[in-house]
Structures are given as C-alpha cells and as structure tokens.
Structure 1
Amino acid sequence: MSRFNAGGIQPHACSGFGIQESGLIGGDMGRPKITVVGAGNVGGTTAQRLAEKDAYDVVLVDIIEGVPQGKALDISQAGPVCGYSTRVVGTNGYDETAGSSVAVITSGMPRKPGMSRDELLTTNARIVKSVVTELVSRSPGIILILVTNPLDAMVHVALQVSGLPKSRIIGMAGVLDSARMRTFIATELKVPGPEVEAMVLGGHGDTMVPLPRYTTVKGRPVSELLPKERLDAIVKRTRDGGAEIVGLLKTGSAFYAPSASAVDMVEAIHRDQKRVLPCAVLCDGEYGLKNVVVGVPVKIGRGGAEQVVEYELTAEERSALSASAAAVRELCTVVDRLMA
C-alpha cells in the first residue's frame, strides 16, 4: 500500500517584511505565484492558508469589486501577528495572475432553490471555461486544481478548453473525502487524526468509493480496530459528509476542510513530495477506465499528477469504482450537450 497524509498544515516562520505603498505586505522576491480564483469562503480561506505558509506570492481573484481587495488586505495585515510576510494581491482581473505556477479554482454558483441540475451544470461550466481560458492565456505553464462543483464534470470542462496536458489539471475531492473519513475514524477510536490514513476513490458525491481495506491507524488495519457495522456507518457518513455540513449550516457549505485539502495539494506540487493522494484526473486505461475523469490514487509532484497508482482492488471495489465512473461519464455527456 502506498502511504500518504491527506491533512495537516504546518506553520512556517517568516524572515522579515516590508510595507509597500499599497498597504500590502511584500514577500521575498522569486517566490512562486499561486492564484486563487473565487474569493468566497473556500477561496478566501485557501488564500489565507497559503499566506500562512510564507512560501508563496498569492493572487486572489473575484468578479465582485472590492471583495478580493478587502480580503487580501485583511490577510496581509494578519502577517505581523501570525509571523508571515506573504505578498497578497486582490484583483477583479487576470493580469496580476501572469506567471502563476498553480491556480486553485473555487469560483462557481451553489445550487439554489428551484435551480435544476442542468442549470447548475451550465452555469458553472461556463464560469470554469472562462476562468481557465483567462488563466492559461497568461500562464501557459500553470497547473490547475479544480474545486468547483460538480467537481468531476468541471475537471472535464477544464481539460477540454485549456489545451493543457492531463497531468496539469487535477480535481480536489478525494483528499477532502479521505480527510472526512480519517476524522470520523479518529473520533471513534479516540486517536489523533494524523495517525489515520485512508483512501477514497470515485466521483465526488454519492458514488464515491471509500476503501476500508486501505485504511490504517498507526499502521494497523482499521478492520482490526472497529467492527464492520461501525465501519459501514463511517463509510456512509463519509459519503454524506458534505450534505451533513450543509444541513447544519443552513445557508452555506464546508470551507475549512476543502481549503486545507487544496493547499495540501499545492504543497505536494511545489515541494515535489511525490505523495500519493486521491485526486480526480483523466484516466487512460488505469483501473480499466478510459477517457473519464474520476478519483484515483495519484502521485503528486512538481509535474502535477505524475502517475496514477493502481491499488489491488477486490471485484466488489472495482465494480463500485466502475459504477462511479459511469455516473461521472453521464454527467460529462450532459455538460457537453448543454455547452454545445
């Protein structure tokens, strides 16, 4: 089994800073530039977590005038207190994103009352198409991390419009889903969350495929520590993880764990960690899946999604993954029809 850690943001100390005329705190020259598109809860928190790494320049983009600028200034002013010197820029355009090495795309509309699935798909597909086009035209070497839902379909759209190799378009889903599963197991067993490792494959939604066989606690299979009925309940809660939070918040959705998951992927890329993380990528024969975007174990490094790692699956697990991929394929077919 390939080991990975899908959680945890470690703070980094800063090494001095200067104040620019704009009021932003300026970081060291030559830092990689990371763009975050969408300054809502997920995007704003992603920008904050990146700033706290004190290793990047951060550009926060949103179409609403004043919002990215205000959040960027607020994040910058936390620097002296939290000990970072990250330069954070907020903008309503894309010129400031030029030269970005990675972009995290969070922009999109949530499903509103009375809105059909097709309407949501069309709206978010058009947003992602526009965002990707703007980013790639200014940063042809960029790696894109998609967060916008429906996640797998949005990765499909980005692949179609970007012209980038598939290794540079990655969907953030499995890291989040695995983090939820790890949390539930850690709570059940009363152990620290980082001591739990888990893997969740498939589409981001009801058809996701958690793999209890590849879930361990300090190296011990979780099946040795929890009875099957408790483990089944955790798997179900993992599938319903996003809906559970929406139900509690009433007027919003999760953003702390999604932003942490996106930043974890950025770190794996820039630190060339070669970690195996569950991500949504275009499969080309792996796991018997061809020409479909689905969550699979991926070695993440400086080149993006450098390799799909094939775990040995049981017939039941392979069937579930195939069914999940079929659901994603159907969704992508709908997107293609609506966007034609």
Structure 2
Amino acid sequence: MGRSKVTVVGAGNVGGTTAQRLAERNYADVVLVDIVEGLPQGKALDILQSGPVEGFESKVIGTNGYEETADSDVVVITSGMPRKPGMSRDDLLKNNQEIVQSVTEEVVRYSPECIIIVVANPLDAMCHVALETSGFPKERVIGMAGILDTARYRTFIAEELNVSVKDVFALVLGGHGDTMVPLPSMATVGGVSITELLPKDKVEAIVQRTRDGGAEIVKLLQKGSAFYAPSAASVEMVDAIVLDQKRILPCAAYLEGEYGIDGLFVGVPVKLGSGGIEEIIELDLTEEELQDLHKSAGAVRELVEVLHS
C-alpha cells in the first residue's frame, strides 16, 4: 500500500496551513489547489523544502488545475470568499455556493471515490452544496466545525480551571455560528462535569466565549480570520479517515431523522473512519439541549432555503 493522497483546495491561510500540517504527518502526499497562479505552487515548494528539517518524505505539489489531484483519498475544501464589509450573509452564501459547486464538480471528476471535508463558510450550507453537487452518499461529505468549536471550548475550560487541556472532554453540537450548542452537561475534566467544578455564571461565560470564538479572533487580527486552529481541526478529521482511527468527533453530518432532524447538515458526534462517517452517535440530551439543537438546525434550514431560492 502506497502513501495516501490528500488534496487541499484553496491555498489561503487555512488551506496552506492544512497542507503544511498534513505534509508533516508524513502519511500522505499533498496536492494544494488554487485559482491564483503561482500561489499554490509557491506555498507547496516552501512546505516541501521544510521536509529535510522536519524529517518528512511527503510529496507536496501546488497546481491551478485538478489533473494532479486524481485519485485523492480525501479532499479538503477550504476555498471561498471571506465576508467583506457591507456584505450580507446571503451575498456571501451565493458567492461561495458558486465556488464550492465548481470545485466539487472538478473534485468528483478526478477523485470519484474520495471523501470530502468541507471547511468553506457558511459551513453547514456549503456541505449541502457539496453533497448535492457530488451525488456522493452522505457518509462521504462531512463538515468541519464541531472540532474547532470544541477545541475553543476545551481551551477556555482548561484556562479557567488551570488544568491540562488533555483532561478536558467537551462537545459542541449544532450549526457553526451564533446558534451552536456547547453542552455543559457533557463537558468534563478528568471525568467530573464542569457544572460541578464551576459556578453557573462562569460556565455561561465560557459557553458565550466559545460561540464568539471566531469573531473574537477576526476582531483582533483586523484582517482575515482564524487559521491555526481550523487547520488543526481539519487535519484531525483527515487523520481519523486516512488512518481509520474510528474517532468519535463532532462533525457536520447529514441527518435523516437522528435527533428528530431530517434532511439537514448539523454538528453531531460521529464515528470517523476510512468509510467517512461510519456511525452517527445519538446522545441522550436534556429537553433544553434538544430545543437548542433544533433552534440551531432551524438557522441552518434558513440558509439552505436561500441556496435553493
């Protein structure tokens, strides 16, 4: 069995850093694709030249076309426009719908057996575009949001309690945005629920900061948005798939009745392995948590309706 092959579409900050992290993993050859001439080639060459120092043998190539991506095992789609001042969410939606649609068509043409990980925003809606355009089974189109939101949540919990992030387990469900559902009841430190370790107002502040995690970074950077943690989260998903790890991770999955939600991509815990989403894990949520999840699903549905309008 040769090396796996992973394609990253979009050579911006998220795509470039994802390609770097993947190359350093040393289990896959990496193809970086972007429409901007020279950009993916330059970044790929730069990453490749870090191989002798970092000690990896992965091939890394940059291209403006899709021929080189043929027979990829996994394709990570990070391409899309960031939201510019004065742009409505709907404007962004329509722009990125076109981009993700054309990317998916090319990806499917050259890698009909691949698994697609969608990172482009608005995330949940872009998953719908990739699923509908590809015609793939739902197991093979997965959105990256939950791991990132959970990583932010775990970071804030660990900081608040001054413990290792390794001992913090947490889950964030729902759409990627203001309506995401961090579950305090499921967040534990060394097996103890944070609701027992922290006063209610502290828990609520952490939940709110998690919801605003992306916006907080955008505000600080002033130009652009987060990319170190999003790329790390994307690569954790690639690891689980390529190495068949059977990880239980929160991802945007197409639900057909689970949690009482039908025909929508919503963030839920899934088992991720070489088949993509191998199982959707149904948690026993409280009535309130379930209501929050349905509210979040409602926000996703609104975006999907705009897509189809």
Residue in 2 that maps onto 1:153: 125
- CA apart distance, 1:111: 0.8
Separation in structure 1 between the aligned mates of residue 214 and residue 279 of structure 2, nearest angstrom: 28
Separation in structure 2 between the aligned mates of residue 114 and residue 245 of structure 1, nearest angstrom: 19
SS of 1:238's partner is: helix
SS of 2:308's partner is: helix
Q: 1:312 aligns with which of 284, 297, 304?
A: 284
Residue in 2 that maps onto 1:83: 55
Q: 1:126 aligns with which of 98, 107, 116?
A: 98
Cα distance per residue 1:258-297 (max 9 Å; x no partner): 0000000000111111111111111000000011111111
- 2:107 matches 1:135: yes
SS of 1:295's partner is: strand
- The unaligned stretches of length 5 or more in structure 1 are 1-28
Residue in 2 that maps onto 1:51: 23
Q: 2:152 aligns with which of 173, 180, 190?
A: 180
Q: Could you tell me the percent identity over the aligned residues? A: 66
Runs of 4 or more above 6 Å deviation: none
Cα distance per residue 1:188-240 (max 9 Å; x no partner): 11111121110000000000000011111122211221111111100000000
Cα distance per residue 1:159-180 (max 9 Å; x no partner): 1110100000000000000000
Q: 2:177 aligns with which of 178, 202, 205?
A: 205
SS of 1:313's partner is: coil
Q: 2:12 aligns with which of 16, 19, 40?
A: 40
Separation in structure 2 between the aligned mates of residue 166 and residue 156 of structure 1, nearest angstrom: 10
SS of 1:120's partner is: helix
Separation in structure 1 between the aligned mates of residue 270 and residue 98 of structure 2, nearest angstrom: 27
Using structure 2 for the length normalisation, give the TM-score.
0.99
How many correspondences in the alignment? 309
The answer to which of 112-121 and 249-258 deviates more is 112-121
Residue in 1 that maps onto 2:275: 303
Separation in structure 2 between the aligned mates of residue 270 and residue 115 of structure 1, nearest angstrom: 37
- 2:250 matches 1:278: yes
Residue in 2 that maps onto 1:105: 77
Cα distance per residue 1:27-61 (max 9 Å; x no partner): xx820100000000000000000000011000000
Separation in structure 2 between the aligned mates of residue 116 and residue 246 of structure 1, nearest angstrom: 17
Separation in structure 1 between the aligned mates of residue 89 and residue 25 of structure 2, nearest angstrom: 37
- 2:138 matches 1:166: yes
Separation in structure 2 between the aligned mates of residue 35 and residue 316 of structure 1, nearest angstrom: 40
- The unaligned stretches of length 5 or more in structure 2 are none
Using structure 1 for the length normalisation, give the TM-score.
0.90
Separation in structure 2 between the aligned mates of residue 224 and residue 76 of structure 1, nearest angstrom: 48
